[in-house]
Amino acid sequence: MTCSRSNVFTDWLDVTCHPEDSFLPLLESFLAYHFFPVMFAENGRTAYKVGDGVLVLEAKRLFHRASCSGSCIRKLTDDNLFRDYVNVLGTVGHNVTRLDAAVDLYTDAPPFLRNLESTYPDDYFSFGRKALRVTRLYSARQSDRALTGTWYAGHRSSARVTARVYDKQAEAMEKRFEVLPPTTRIELTFRKDYNCSLYDVLMPESLFYTHASPKLLDAPEGVNMVTWEPRGLVPWVSSPVDYTLTLDRFDYRVSSSPEMQKLADLAAQFGDAGKAAVMRHFERMLTSALAEKSHTSDAA
């Protein structure tokens, strides 16, 4: 099947590190510096709104994690910040524990799905020696009743590499009422212990086509089909960038914070009592934060 396609892109990224040598403080500075707002913070998890996506920072006893969705990656890429984000992750020892690499084919999904079904009629697919069970989650398309949806290889399994092929046009309309041209997305998920690296995050073409071609689709002409090799232990090298939150940038962030504006609007309903409530709780939280920072400084 011949059709135009996108370049290979990273569509999800989870990276972990050790709590004693963590990238979380620098990531928090990076996100504050660029004015990405906090959506919630509880139980060691802090979620930031990045474009239409959510970036989650998680602090556990045994590990720290940064989880960046595809929508976050697109926003950071559009703002020319994704390489900087990856550089922050690479400032300490780390592991890429999930990397989704994908390609969009600009073709209608149902014929492509029918071709996959005829290629793997026994509903088993394999990237190597271990066979993965195929799961099909389909429904009838309203326009022509064609069966469309998602074809999975290794759905909800513990396999280190899994695949899904789905109707991106239908998914965009169903979830976001977004109108796309006919689009079929092929997405591979590489999980922990596969030794993916941050180099693969920024340059996923070899990783993707080494595994996807020719079993799911043929690599296009002109693609450098150098067989992918793990580079998870190769040191990450990047130029340091200063994300120190200056008082001027902090002042601007406070003044433009949508959450602060919403609290002000809500407090105004109650007049002086509302103002007192906001000031009282903010002072309590600020006093607690200052005391914790002082304790941390003394301990160091």
Place of tokens 């793990």: 230
Q: What is the pLDDT of residue 300?
A: 59
**In contact, 19 and 61? CB cutoff 8 Å:** yes
Low-confidence ranges of the chain (pLDDT < 50): none
Q: What is the pLDDT of residue 53?
A: 95
| DSSP sequence for 120-150 | STTSEEESSSSEEEEEEEEEE-TTT--EEEE
Q: What is the pLDDT of residue 97?
A: 96
Q: What is the pLDDT of residue 184?
A: 97
Q: What is the pLDDT of residue 143?
A: 76
Q: How far apart are CA 97 and CA 241, in angstroms?
A: 25
Cβ-proximal residues to 180 (8 Å cutoff; 6+ apart), any chain: 168, 169, 172, 173
Q: What is the pLDDT of residues 132-150, one digit of tens each?
A: 999 999 999 877 889 999 9
**In contact, 182 and 169? CB cutoff 8 Å:** yes
Helix (H, G, I), strand (E, B) or coil at 297: helix
Q: What is the pLDDT of residue 257?
A: 83
Residues belonging to the chain: 300
The predicted model scores a pTM of: 0.88
